Amino acid sequence: MKKHCLESGFTIGFLGAGQLARMSALQAFRFGMQVAIFSDRPETEPAEFLTPASFNGSFDDLESMIEFANACDVITLENEFIDSGILKELRDRTGTPIYPAPETFEKIENKEIEKLTFRDAGIPVTPSRLVGSPSDIENFAQEFGWPVMLKSSKGGYDGYGNRTVNHAGAAATAFDELGGNQEQEILAESFVDFTHELAVQVARNGSETVIYPCVETVQEDHICVAVKAPAHIDPLLAEEAQRLAKAAAEAIDGRGIFAFEFFLTSDGQILLNETAPRPHNSGHYTIEGCISSQFENHVRAVAGLPLGSSGMVQEAAVMINLLGSHHRTARIDFADEAMKTPNGHLHCYGKTDSKSGRKMAHYTLLGKDPGTIYNRAVELTMNIKI
Amino acid sequence: MKKHCLESGFTIGFLGAGQLARMSALQAFRFGMQVAIFSDRPETEPAEFLTPASFNGSFDDLESMIEFANACDVITLENEFIDSGILKELRDRTGTPIYPAPETFEKIENKEIEKLTFRDAGIPVTPSRLVGSPSDIENFAQEFGWPVMLKSSKGGYDGYGNRTVNHAGAAATAFDELGGNQEQEILAESFVDFTHELAVQVARNGSETVIYPCVETVQEDHICVAVKAPAHIDPLLAEEAQRLAKAAAEAIDGRGIFAFEFFLTSDGQILLNETAPRPHNSGHYTIEGCISSQFENHVRAVAGLPLGSSGMVQEAAVMINLLGSHHRTARIDFADEAMKTPNGHLHCYGKTDSKSGRKMAHYTLLGKDPGTIYNRAVELTMNIKI
């Protein structure tokens, strides 16, 4: 790095300006750092309200990122959609290190490469194959059965870019909808019969590794609506998920914070499903739930500071996502009870506009008994309107 | 307020741009708010790195604050040195509410008025009197004994503006040094023989009051070097300090966060010593030590949100101030052990320059046994150099 990360003026740059950059930036400030933001959106994004140093351009346009990179001592990313070749060139031209490194992104550049990387490292993943036509999908289904999950190989999140195909007759439409006929690479994945969806955060700073608890994510329509920490499963299975998460972070030589999402299958297997080389919704509970949050350890890891503890502060934590109701100026109503409740913590992302289903805020409740706090958190947030 | 505080674009303004505004701003962001800063310093101050909306001018110059006030939905203050008449006019001209209100500041406008306000409310305070000459000091000493504490009636902090006068021969020099011959009002205070210095935070939002634990402050040369939470004193005395703090906050009709510092005298009395109508160094431990920190409840109170719990997260917390070593570019060295320690939390204020004795950062350690964590925190921070 150009200067010591605890020296006055040290600047951490974020490519991306959403709530993940925003919550990370708050932790950077806490260590006395300065923050620079690069956004590719025309509207003012959540993290841009937090700094005088905002830059605008396109993630596809190297030139537009140069000035930003020169203003930073280290750069990190809020999403995994930037081409690793562009990141390498940005680093080489400006001398500003980027973590996770472009070489890490290369290993998970798209879903096909990602699967190969982890399969090679001995990590169990869902059976999958690139498909170039509807008939490839049928062949895949003959081997692994219906339904088949179709995924855009690059760029999908929160269910965008996913389709479930239940029978041969639906293959052509889904393939076309995902852009299969417009050169979009499509991955077919066998449908996994699972009992739980799990997630584990891993922080690595180049010399140390810190592993967070194994949590359960509750999904509706492919969107995470809640997280229960720790996951209420056999402790040996939780440990296995943590072991696999650590191995996966090592397999991509990751530096920063990483989230690994797993299926716990009906027959007791743990399969790696998705990877996020960044802070992740499944780790928001760590802000109050753990001694050092995913955002704090992300900043520490990227800046090269020693890592903090991932130990939980209380026995259990629950995080509920608060989604937008409809298109309107963002405004949180009916949150008083939630805000008054001891050990209940509201976080709002400062987005200008609310939209149906948009992640606008979240609420974390800590306590002793997982079931009790889950029910209570659901109750406290069900009337909140954004 | 001009708009609902949880609506997009709601802006909280801080008069003052130091670490107290910075740590408060971080909590405002967490609720999705925007932040505007007004600084009277030429150099970039800690809180100015956190927002695109920085304003510059003088606290004595109403006109220079108008544009800032118009950009805010509510304004709060980082210090108590601004004339309450100017604050009233600023509020009246712009329609932007200010909390704590100018009427609250009026009641503690200088140390003489402050003492009268609290004496009238039945709160025990140290005996004191305005002195207009060295012979007034001698008369005061004849009544209350030597030594006599001399304090500038307005503007003192961290021991600046204080002198201890041990005998009649030293009165004239101290009186002159504090500006007594240049129309500076000087208050003589009887020296209090105390066993502990205590502090209590109180948050009030207009309808609710939240009282923090009674803590012990450790002072060296009139500067707070450490805080032990809770104070290791008779629980009945701690409750009495909390009761007096609540009464004091009510006596000034305070809205926001307030710190009240007390002496626990050798004969077991609790005397109110100093008042801070803002977040205070003695409450920094609350960031990790309490469910909702003084900064969070300050923002909640000022914005009109329900208050959060002041309950402690663990049995005990210790906060150590990290002071500058000498004049140099700010940089924190030898903090690795402190940062690695679970339950140890480093906060750096982002000041550009370090100076001998300047408050640059702090370190909080949580644990079960107060004595153990105090010794450990001292050990972990003694080699940190800034």
Please list the residues that pair with B316 across neighbouring strands.
Answer: B367
Q: Looking at residue A223, what is its pLDDT? A: 82
Q: Would you give the DSSP letter of residue B306?
A: P
Sign of CA dihedral A88, A89, A90, A92: positive
Q: A347: which chain B residues are within 8 Å (Cβ-Cβ)?
A: 30-31
> B267: burial class by Cβ within 10 Å (0-12, 13-18, 19+)?
exposed
Q: Looking at residue A158, what is its pLDDT? A: 60
Q: Is the pLDDT of residue B338 over 70?
A: yes
* Cβ–Cβ < 8 Å for A143, A149: no
Q: Looking at residue B156, what is its pLDDT? A: 61
Q: How far apart are CA B332 and CA B234, in angstroms?
A: 38
Q: Looking at residue B155, what is its pLDDT? A: 66
Q: Do B350 and A29 touch (CB under 8 A)?
A: yes
CB pairs under 8 A between A and B: 127
Q: Looking at residue B196, what is its pLDDT? A: 97
User: Could you give the percent of chain B with pLDDT greater than 90?
Assistant: 86
Q: Taking the CB of residue A175, how many other CB atoms lie within 10 A of it?
A: 24
Give the burial string for B157-183 (b: 16+ CB within 10 Å, else e).
Answer: beeebbbebeeeebbbebbeebebeee
Per-residue pLDDT tens digits for A31-69: 999 999 999 999 999 999 999 999 999 999 999 999 999
Decide: helix, strand or coil at residue A204. strand
B1 contact A CB<8A: no
Q: Is the pLDDT of residue B157 over 80?
A: no
Decide: helix, strand or coil at residue A289. helix
* Cβ–Cβ < 8 Å for A68, A90: no
Q: Is the pLDDT of residue A288 over 70?
A: yes
Higher-confidence residue of B222 and B206: namely: B206
Q: Is the pLDDT of residue A157 over 70?
A: no
Q: Looking at residue B223, what is its pLDDT? A: 82
Q: Looking at residue B158, what is its pLDDT? A: 60
CA-based nearest distance A188→chain B, Å: 39
Angle at A28 between CA A27 and CA A30, to 5 degrees: 65
B71 contact A CB<8A: no
Please state the pTM of the whole predicted model.
0.95
Q: Is the pLDDT of residue A366 over 80?
A: yes
The stretch B104-122 carries a mean pLDDT of 94
Interface of B with A in 31-60 (CB under 8 A): 31-35, 48-52, 54
Q: Is the pLDDT of residue A194 over 90?
A: yes
Q: Do B361 and A51 touch (CB under 8 A)?
A: no
Decide: helix, strand or coil at residue A59. coil
From B38, B64, B35, select the one nearest B50 (Cα to Cα): B35
Q: Do B33 and A350 touch (CB under 8 A)?
A: yes
Higher-confidence residue of A157 and B89: namely: B89
Transcribe A109-140 into DSSP letters: SSHHHHHHHHHHTT--B--EEEESSHHHHHHH
Q: Looking at residue A183, what is its pLDDT? A: 81
Between the alpha carbon of residue B183 and those of residues B148, B154, B178, B283, the distances in Å are: 20, 12, 10, 34
Residue with tokens 């923090």: B212
Radius of gyration of chain B (CA): 21
β-pairing verdict for B11-15 and B74-77: parallel
Least confident window among A6-10, A219-223, B2-6, B105-109: A219-223
Q: Looking at residue A152, what is its pLDDT? A: 86
Q: How far apart are CA A77 and CA A21, in angstroms?
A: 8
Q: Looking at residue A155, what is its pLDDT? A: 66
Q: Is the pLDDT of residue B326 over 70?
A: yes
For residue B347, what are its two tokens?
Answer: 């906060």
Domains and CATH numbers, chain A: 11-98 (3.40.50.20), 127-190 (3.30.1490.20), 194-381 (3.30.470.20)
The stretch B9-33 carries a mean pLDDT of 98
Average pLDDT of the residues of chain B: 94
The stretch B156-165 carries a mean pLDDT of 74
Q: Is the pLDDT of residue B224 over 90?
A: no
Higher-confidence residue of B361 and A171: namely: B361
Q: Amino acid identity of B282?
A: S
The stretch A75-97 carries a mean pLDDT of 95
Q: Is the pLDDT of residue B1 over 80?
A: no
Sign of CA dihedral B72, B76, B78, B83: positive
Q: Taking the CB of residue A161, how many other CB atoms lie within 10 A of it?
A: 20
Transcribe B88-102 into DSSP letters: HHHHHHH---BSS-H
User: Could you give the percent of chain A with pLDDT greater than 70?
Assistant: 98
Per-residue pLDDT tens digits for A250-269: 999 999 999 999 999 999 99
Per-residue pLDDT tens digits for A312-351: 999 999 999 999 999 999 999 999 999 999 999 999 999 9
Q: B52: which chain A residues are within 8 Å (Cβ-Cβ)?
A: 48-49, 51-52, 54
